[in-house]
């Protein structure tokens, strides 16, 4: 009897030990389920996640100021104010000790596309006798002075050696009912497999469906999705593509010194390595970027591979495998080292901060941006199905069940 009890005890202990080993292996590779304490954790939303424009006058709105500690082709010791304006001229900055500085000529973003309102940087040189604190006073012409938060403090990029995140995706402005909650689950889980550990999404919460909002809350509460709630101060028809450049620019500067690599693309776009057999199974995209974004390479412009969107149901990346026979090298998207960039556009890097930094064209045989869109196709591409299909399906089903979609 004692022998039988000992055998049972040993068997149970061995089983529990094997479970621990298996669980450890799964967690190191790719955690399939989120711990309950993470799911139920309440994330503190500070002022950087609920941002709003300050009205200068009816033709000019300021989002925030940035202290830029970098030196380079856009000057040194500058405070940069991100504005949406109709003609961005005649601005002034007032520093904490009272010094008033006339702003330099406003820097217009390259993708404003001649719309009535554009996105600009207003740059003020910091006087030698002044320091930049948590706020800055700002005005245009004869408008009253307003107080702006200094939201980001950007260090000299050459001093940045450590990051909180290795790979972040910026999702500029999700709006309307174009995307469902399940589409966001697919996006998050496929990208987690690829090596993305942090996603920043910009939205006006009054303009998204309830099921998408519930998924956003789920990932936000687990601290893998950072939500920036922002409303553009002018009508959408008055500014290019719903003010997307505001989100792109804010996300770029928000990520400086925080994330090593940052990708800019939409919910129906995925960065897919073309030679996964040369990469580790865990975080293959991150491993690839570590070989491309090196030395003085600041940005890579990734060619777009259009995938014909015929089945718009669940798991579109696994059910739509017909592609165009050629890639698009104009409507590209970028992956950058953020602290090396001054201006990021929607489809290209517009300006690096040092003249010796490079923005390069990506090799379509190495990395492509798969864009699921109704554009037709003549060739079958099952790369996502083959390389990630089983893992994506399992993770997707687990999360959908956990949320109750």
End of a domain among 126, 154, 182?
154
- 127 and 268 part of one domain: no
Please tell me the predicted confidence (pLDDT) of residue 129: 94
- 131 and 204 part of one domain: no
List the chain residues with pLDDT less than 70.
1-47
| Cα 353 from Cα 254, distance rounded (Å) | 16
In a domain, 388, yes or no: yes
In a domain, 6, yes or no: no
Please tell me the predicted confidence (pLDDT) of residue 377: 81
- Between helices 284-292 and 181-194, what is the axis angle to 10°? 60
Please tell me the predicted confidence (pLDDT) of residue 45: 35
- 273 and 349 part of one domain: yes
Per-residue pLDDT tens over the stretch 282-307:
999 999 999 999 999 999 999 999 99
Q: Tell me, what CATH number does 326's domain have?
A: 3.90.550
End of a domain among 154, 179, 203?
154
Q: CA-based angle 77:82:88, to the nearest 5?
A: 100
| Cα 172 from Cα 195, distance rounded (Å) | 20
Residue 266 exposure: Cα atoms within 13 Å on the Cβ side: 16
In a domain, 123, yes or no: yes
| Cα 71 from Cα 62, distance rounded (Å) | 24
- 366 and 233 part of one domain: yes
In a domain, 139, yes or no: yes
CA 401 → CA 193, 397, 404, distances in Å?
19, 6, 5
Would you say how long the chain is, in residues? 405
In a domain, 309, yes or no: yes
- 132 and 200 part of one domain: no
Please tell me the predicted confidence (pLDDT) of residue 18: 39
Which among 22, 34, 32 is positioned nearest to 390, based on CA atoms? 32
In a domain, 262, yes or no: yes
Give the number of domains in the chain: 2
Per-residue pLDDT tens over the stretch 237-279:
999 998 999 999 999 999 999 999 999 999 999 999 999 999 9
Please tell me the predicted confidence (pLDDT) of residue 105: 96
- 134 and 170 part of one domain: no
- 128 and 269 part of one domain: no
End of a domain among 119, 138, 154?
154
CA 376 to chain centroid = 28
In a domain, 323, yes or no: yes
Please tell me the predicted confidence (pLDDT) of residue 29: 42
The whole domain housing 100 covers 54-154
């Amino acid at each position: 009897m004692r022998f039988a009890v000992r055998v049972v005890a040993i068997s149970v202990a061995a089983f529990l030990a094997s479970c621990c080993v298996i669980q450890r292996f799964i967690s190191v590779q790719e955690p399939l389920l989120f711990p309950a304490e993470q799911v139920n954790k309440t994330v503190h939303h500070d002022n950087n996640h609920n941002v709003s424009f300050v009205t200068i006058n009816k033709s000019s709105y300021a989002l925030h100021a940035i202290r830029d500690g970098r030196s380079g082709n856009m000057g040194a010791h500058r405070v940069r104010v991100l504005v949406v304006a109709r003609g961005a001229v005649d601005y002034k900055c007032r520093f904490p000790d009272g010094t008033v500085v006339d702003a330099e000529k406003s820097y217009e973003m390259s993708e404003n596309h001649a719309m009535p309102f554009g996105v600009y940087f207003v740059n003020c040189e910091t006087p030698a006798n002044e320091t930049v604190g948590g706020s800055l006073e700002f005005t245009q012409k004869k408008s009253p002075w307003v107080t702006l938060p200094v939201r980001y403090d950007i260090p000299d990029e050459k001093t940045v050696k450590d990051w909180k995140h290795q790979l972040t995706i910026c999702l500029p402005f999700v709006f309307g009912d174009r995307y469902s909650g399940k589409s966001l689950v697919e996006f998050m889980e496929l990208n987690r497999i690829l090596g993305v550990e942090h996603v920043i999404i910009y939205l006006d919460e009054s303009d998204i469906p309830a099921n998408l909002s519930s998924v956003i809350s789920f990932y936000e509460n687990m601290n893998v999705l950072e939500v920036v709630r922002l409303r553009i101060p002018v009508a959408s028809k008055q500014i290019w593509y719903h003010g997307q450049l505001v989100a792109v620019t804010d996300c770029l500067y928000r990520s400086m010194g925080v994330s090593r690599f940052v990708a800019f693309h939409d919910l129906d776009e995925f960065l897919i390595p073309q030679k996964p057999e040369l990469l580790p199974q865990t975080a293959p995209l991150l491993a690839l970027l570590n070989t491309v974004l090196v030395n003085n390479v600041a940005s890579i412009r990734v060619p777009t591979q259009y995938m014909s969107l015929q089945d718009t149901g669940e798991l579109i990346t696994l059910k739509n495998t017909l592609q165009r026979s050629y890639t698009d090298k104009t409507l590209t998207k970028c992956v950058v080292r953020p602290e090396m960039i001054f201006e990021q556009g929607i489809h290209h890097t517009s300006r690096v901060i040092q003249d010796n930094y490079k923005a390069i064209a990506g090799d379509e045989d190495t990395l492509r941006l798969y864009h699921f869109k109704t554009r037709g196709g003549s060739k079958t591409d099952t790369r996502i199905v083959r390389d990630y299909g089983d893992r994506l399906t399992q993770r997707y089903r687990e999360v959908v069940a956990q949320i109750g979609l």
